[in-house]
Amino acid sequence: MSKINFGGVTEDVVTREEFPLAKAKEVLKDEVVAILGYGVQGPGQSLNLRDNGINVIVGQRKGSKSWDKAVADGWIPGKTLFELEEVAEKATVLQYLLSDAGQKELWPSIKKHLKAGKTLYFSHGFSITYKELTGIIPPSDVDVVLVAPKGSGLSVRRNFLNGSGINSSYAVFQDATGKAKEKCIALGIAIGSGYLFPTTFQSEVYSDLTGERGILVGALTGVMEAQYNELRKHGHSPSEAFNETVEELTQSLIKLVGEKGMDWMYANISTTAQRGALDWKDKFRDAVAPVFSDLYESVKNGTEAKIVLDKNSKPNYREELNKELDEIKNSEMWRAGSEVRKLRPENWKE
């Protein structure tokens, strides 16, 4: 492990140089890794494992769209693709990658296949942390570990293919064999992590739910809508409002932040932009600080978990979700965005 100083705080991280793929393959050479669920994280993690030479099989409900996607991705029914219970029986490592609500629903069927010495793997601390709500309490004789990529399943795959990998956190909740940590890190390397940093199941889910509802998705969406609407209210065109709200951020500025940090981005904008940003950043921070405080408490006390399980367990949750997503898709801002994206140089027709 490397001791890295993050803003004055030293943390232990695991890099691919310290724990190379060859070592991960040696640790996992006798394991049969099963991916349970081929939805968000399942495709990226399973394909990366397969490409890295790990013995991996996939479990998914037959007849579903995700089953068809798995077949299209090269998984073979009866050979590397099975129903969920069958794959749980065959595997020694069960990567439980169904939705949080799906994990709760399927748990009684999966638990009976967790024989002594097997490994139960999560990419989210939700089901274990909120066990009073999910009922997911693993047997005491199995290892329980977590590798949580800090990005979407699509990014897990894309970053693997371009060689960069994606950062992941890792944790051991239960070490029944004495080898849980080594297996956990090996799995993290094998799914294509750029580096791994330690966490706990509880810390992972608290930070993850806060981040998703906050700056990563919820707050970002809301702030974009607020600025776009204000610009439109004062007569700015949809194209101008969208470019100033979204396009410049995603196609220029955020790439500079990702490249070398916020200070690098500031150094590469006009002095007028610098002055305005510095004058207004504290106002925005102080305005939203109470919202983030409320959000974190809602995550910590289980309110957000209850909402997730309630909403996503309803028979018509997919239809209701699609209605909400369609409201975003069909809003003027994102219809303008669709047209703006067509005008990007890479989309120009000869």
Q: Residue 258 — φ and ψ, nearest 5°?
A: -65, -30
- Alpha helix locations (H) across 63-200? 65-72, 84-90, 100-111, 126-129, 131-134, 153-161, 180-190
Catalytic choice (113, 124, 234, 236): 124
What residues contact residue 124 under an 8 Å CB cut-off, 6+ apart? 100, 146, 148, 204, 205, 208
Residue position matching structure tokens 């695991």? 14
Q: Residue 287 — φ and ψ, nearest 5°?
A: -70, -40
Q: Is 184 exposed, middle or buried (0-12, 13-18, 19+ CB in 10 A)?
A: buried
Element (H, E) at 299: helix 271-300
Respond yes or no: is residue 234 known to be catalytic. Answer: no
| For the chain, the helix, strand and coil percentages under 3-state DSSP, each to the nearest 5 | 55, 15, 30
Asked if residues 62 and 38 have their Cβ atoms less than 8 Å apart, the reply is no
Asked if residues 229 and 332 have their Cβ atoms less than 8 Å apart, the reply is no
Catalytic residue numbers? Answer: 124
